[in-house]
Amino acid sequence: MKTAIALCNEIRKGLRFAWSERLQILIELPMFAVFIILLGPLLGQGGNIASGRVDWSLNSQTTSAMIVWFVPFIFFYMQVVKMFWRLLGEIQAGTLEQVYLSPLPPWLVAAAGRVAAAFLETLFVAAASYGIVSVFVRIQLHWSAAALLPAFAIMIAAVGLSLIIAGATLVYKRIEIVNDGVLMMVMIFSASALPLIQVPNWWAVASHAFPLTDGVGSLYNVMIAHRSVTSAWGIGGLVPLFTVSTAYLLAGIGTFILGERVAKNRGTLGRY
């Protein structure tokens, strides 16, 4: 009971933070839609661009696949980036040590406070991006409850990655550029799950190690390719999907605990 109350309090605190950051969300909102609209006609057009000929029309199929690719990425962005900045703010202000007054483990305090807020923020930004992009081109998605399964796995993986970044933040503090870069790589490598471009073999193999690839692949299978979500193997298969997500969550918890231990030993948990 005490644990449930503490958990609810953290979630409520996270939602309050999210509300106080509503202007940030509004500022970031157009970024994703603009990126989809701009990147769509450029994908795979390197040769044409070099010779100065680009067809700037948007293809419905490509854009639909890009929506399936970008929406989970928005959740990653909301979870990872905002958790990093909040944690850094608490370290700099010296209030992080107060999490040890909670009956919850510190990694759970850090993660639980963000995940519900990130979910709601993603719903808002994804809906707005969908609306903006659909003004320019028809988006064809097959809405199905089965998509909730990869969505859940994606959330687990995002929490795991955010805890890895948080653990590194406890030790190295100002890692904002690395944080942004890691997210960019997660986004780029996850594209190999979609038939947008032909990727080299090494890229396809390496992409499985990234936390978003199989989640995007599974969403694509359900929402565009009309395939079953329960197939075990291949890109988006249940086995790689949940193996990778669980591995990221465990690695995240481990990294956070390790980072916390290092910071405690150095006496830098709440101060530089």
Partner 1 sequence: MSTIAVPIAFQTRLVRTELVKGLRLMWRRRSMVVAATIVYALTYLGISLFIGGGHLVKDLMVRTLPALLAVVVASVAAVEGTAGIAEEINGGTLEQTRLSPASPQLQALGRMTALAIEGLAAAIVLGILFVFAVGLDINPHPAALIPAVLTILDALGYGLIMTALVVRVASIGAITHVGNMAIMAFGGMLAPISVFPHGVEIFARFIPTALGVQSINTTLAGHGLGASWSDGTLPWLLVHTAVVVTAAFSLYVINIRHAQHEGGLSPR
Given 5, 8, 31, 123, the residue binding partner 1 (CB under 8 A): 31
Given 60, 89, 98, 140, the residue binding partner 1 (CB under 8 A): 89
Q: Does 132 bind partner 1 (CB under 8 A)?
A: no
Burial class (CB in 10 A: 0-12, 13-18, 19+), 256: buried
Given 189, 220, 248, 256, the residue binding partner 1 (CB under 8 A): 189
CB 75 within 8 A of CB 155: yes
Q: Does 85 bind partner 1 (CB under 8 A)?
A: yes
Q: Which stretch binds partner 1 (CB under 8 A): 114-122, 123-131, 136-144, 181-189?
A: 181-189
Q: Does 200 bind partner 1 (CB under 8 A)?
A: yes
The whole-angstrom separation of Cα 140 and Cα 58 is: 13
Q: Does 28 bind partner 1 (CB under 8 A)?
A: yes
Number of residues that bind partner 1 (CB under 8 A): 51
Tokens of 69: 């690719």
Q: Does 97 bind partner 1 (CB under 8 A)?
A: no
CB 215 within 8 A of CB 127: no
Alpha helices in 53-212 (DSSP H): 60-93, 106-136, 148-172, 176-190, 201-207
Q: Which helix (H) or strand (E) holds 249?
A: helix 238-266
Task: Supply φ then ψ for residue 266, to 5 degrees.
Answer: -85, -10
Residues 6+ apart with CB under 8 A from 62: 40, 43, 196
CB 206 within 8 A of CB 189: yes
Q: Does 239 bind partner 1 (CB under 8 A)?
A: no
The whole-angstrom separation of Cα 257 and Cα 272 is: 19
Given 6, 21, 105, 258, the residue binding partner 1 (CB under 8 A): 21
CB 256 within 8 A of CB 99: no
Q: Least CB distance from residue 152 to partner 1, whole Å?
A: 27
Site string for partner 1, 146-175 (x = CB under 8 A): --------------------------xxxx
Our CB check for partner 1 shows the closer of 25 and 219 to be 25
Given 1, 50, 101, 232, the residue binding partner 1 (CB under 8 A): 50
> Which residues in this chain contact partner 1 in the complex, by CB under 8 A?
20-21, 23-25, 27-28, 30-31, 34-35, 38-39, 42-47, 49-52, 54, 56, 81, 85, 89, 92-93, 172-178, 180-182, 184-185, 188-189, 191, 197-200, 203, 272
